[in-house]
């Protein structure tokens, strides 16, 4: 099939799927979305919408019949169904092997370790007694992270064990052993950073700048670019991101989240096989954004330039309350000509729901990230999403 006539399928019609489609449509691709929600963010701009559960193999089969290549906007999907399609020759990017390895945090960390990527020490556990064993000072010690190996996102599925007295509570909170568990060395990090990286069908790679993330209530709050880390740490982080892309041999856009310690050590915390919230700044601040390069990757095109045009700060617009979504302060926010607001089209606001984001870019090419960050933070009390 000629590149431009390839029909694209996307599992998931949330904001990431929507933003993939906005880029795919610039090139005129035909896009089908699989999502159970008839009113999902991608609904109004996709060519075809299969309304089916993410578990239902029939939905995936239908998607494969309507498309030449399938990608996905999140990883908690039916890998088995995709595996069957892949084994029948259907193109799935990133590959199902990459998806399955990354879906499970234990196998993800095992693969990263085998690839000699710096990561926190970790181990699979089944009982409180085993957790206590890893909590001993001669072992991983406290504080200790307990995680479910699957299904976690935005801090869900994680529990911090401060000391031995926390073990039973954390074990109970994460399902009392009904879900597969792992423990992980607690890294006393100074900063959380992330890098968006892309890998093509022929193995070519490109890496975006280092971004610095801050979370609030375990949800990404702010991404500031470039990260305020020294040049050596920045180079090390870029090099690690580049190596991670070889570990999974994935095709598409990935996000590599990392911790930086006060001593400048870097540990990979988590890898996502898809465009990522911490890469939204690329829409305004890079020549080719993470969604455009994702589409280029999966259809077999070379990448656009991933370098930074100006400092940029992205702030998530999180629903403050439940009800019909209402955006406040847009007119006032736009008095700054370097602010761009994105709304995902979700009709209902819920407290803690990602409703949109805004990106503030530098006032000049040589503006500082600190100055840009201050402008972005000043807008937080102005531009808000509430339910009413």
Q: Does 246 engage in binding with a second copy (CB under 8 A)?
A: no
Give the H/E segment covering residue 383. none
382, 332 contact by CB (below 8 A): yes
Rounded to the nearest whole angstrom, what is the least distance from the CB of residue 81 to a second copy in the complex? 26
**Size of residue set near a second copy by CB under 8 A:** 43
* Contacting range for a second copy; rule: CB under 8 A; set: 109-117, 137-145, 188-196, 293-301: 293-301
Q: Compute φ and ψ for 207, nearest 5 degrees.
A: -125, 130
Chain center to CA of 171: 26
Chain center to CA of 330: 26
Rounded to the nearest whole angstrom, what is the least distance from the CB of residue 343 to a second copy in the complex? 4
* Contacting range for a second copy; rule: CB under 8 A; set: 94-102, 132-140, 147-155, 301-309: 301-309
Closer to a second copy by Cβ: residue 36 or 300: 300
Closer to a second copy by Cβ: residue 179 or 326: 326
What residues have CB less than 8 Å from 84, skipping those under 6 apart? 57, 60
**Count of Cβ atoms closer than 10 Å to residue 350 Cβ:** 16
Which residue of 7, 22, 56, 150 would you call a contact of a second copy, by CB under 8 A?
22
* Contacting range for a second copy; rule: CB under 8 A; set: 2-10, 131-139, 140-148, 182-190: 2-10
Rounded to the nearest whole angstrom, what is the least distance from the CB of residue 361 to a second copy in the complex? 7
Q: Which of 236, 278, 238, 272 is nearest to 255 (CA)?
A: 272
Paired sense of beta strands 48-50 and 31-34, if any: parallel
**String marking each residue 47-86 x if it binds a second copy according to CB under 8 A:** x---------------------------------------
Q: Does 350 engage in binding with a second copy (CB under 8 A)?
A: no
Which residue of 302, 351, 368, 378 would you call a contact of a second copy, by CB under 8 A?
302
Rounded to the nearest whole angstrom, what is the least distance from the CB of residue 234 to a second copy in the complex? 21
Closer to a second copy by Cβ: residue 160 or 330: 330
Which residue of 151, 300, 323, 387 would you call a contact of a second copy, by CB under 8 A?
300
Binders in 144-203 for a second copy, by CB under 8 A: none
Q: Which of 168, 88, 94 is nearest to 132 (CA)?
A: 168
Closer to a second copy by Cβ: residue 51 or 343: 343
Q: Compute φ and ψ for 98, nearest 5 degrees.
A: -60, -45
Handedness of CA 337, 339, 345, 351 (dihedral sign): negative
Q: Is 15 helix (H, G, I), strand (E, B) or coil?
A: helix
Binders in 252-291 for a second copy, by CB under 8 A: 284, 287-288
- Distance separating alpha carbons of residues 241 and 342, to the nearest angstrom: 27
Binders in 315-344 for a second copy, by CB under 8 A: 326-327, 330-331, 334-335, 337-344
Beta-sheet strands, E only, within 17-119? 31-34, 48-50, 69-72, 91-92
271, 278 contact by CB (below 8 A): no
- Distance separating alpha carbons of residues 9 and 33, to the nearest angstrom: 6
Residues in the site for a second copy, rule: CB under 8 A?
A: 2-4, 18, 22, 25-28, 30, 44-47, 284, 287-288, 296, 300-305, 309, 326-327, 330-331, 334-335, 337-345, 356, 361, 365
């Amino acid at each position: 099939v000629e590149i431009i006539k390839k029909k694209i399928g996307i599992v998931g019609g949330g904001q990431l799927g929507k933003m993939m489609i906005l880029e795919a449509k610039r090139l005129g691709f035909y896009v089908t979305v699989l999502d159970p929600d008839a009113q999902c963010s991608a609904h109004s701009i996709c060519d075809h919408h299969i309304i089916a559960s993410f578990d239902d193999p029939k939905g995936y089969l239908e998607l494969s019949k309507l498309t030449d290549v399938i990608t996905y906007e999140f990883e908690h999907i039916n890998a088995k169904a995709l595996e069957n399609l892949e084994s029948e020759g259907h193109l799935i990017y990133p590959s199902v092997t990459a998806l399955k390895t990354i879906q499970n945090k234990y196998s993800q960390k095992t693969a990263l370790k085998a690839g000699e990527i710096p990561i926190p020490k970790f181990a699979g556990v089944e009982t409180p007694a085993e957790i206590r064993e890893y909590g001993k000072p001669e072992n991983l010690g406290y504080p200790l992270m307990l995680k479910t190996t699957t299904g976690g996102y935005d801090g869900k599925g994680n529990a911090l064990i401060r000391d031995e007295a926390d073990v039973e509570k954390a074990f109970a909170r994460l399902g009392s052993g009904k879900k597969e568990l792992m423990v992980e060395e607690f890294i006393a990090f100074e900063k959380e950073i992330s890098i968006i990286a892309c890998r093509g069908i022929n193995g070519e790679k490109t890496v975006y700048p280092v971004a610095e993330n801050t979370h609030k209530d375990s949800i990404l709050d702010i991404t500031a670019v470039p990260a305020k880390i020294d040049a050596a740490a920045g180079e090390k982080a870029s090099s690690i991101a580049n190596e991670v892309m070889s570990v999974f041999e994935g095709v598409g856009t990935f996000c590599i989240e990392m911790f930086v310690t006060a001593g400048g050590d870097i540990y990979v915390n988590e890898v996502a096989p898809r465009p990522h919230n911490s890469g939204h700044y690329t829409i305004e601040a890079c020549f080719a954004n993470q969604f455009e390069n994702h589409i280029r990757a999966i259809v077999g095109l070379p990448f656009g330039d991933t370098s930074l045009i100006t400092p940029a700060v992205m702030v998530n617009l999180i629903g403050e309350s439940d009800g019909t979504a209402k955006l406040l302060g847009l007119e006032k926010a736009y008095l700054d000509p370097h602010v761009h607001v994105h709304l995902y089209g979700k009709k209902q606001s819920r407290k803690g729901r990602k409703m949109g984001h805004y990106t503030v870019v530098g006032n000049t090419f040589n503006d500082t990230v600190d100055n840009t960050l201050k402008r972005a933070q000043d807008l937080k009390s102005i531009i808000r999403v509430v339910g009413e």
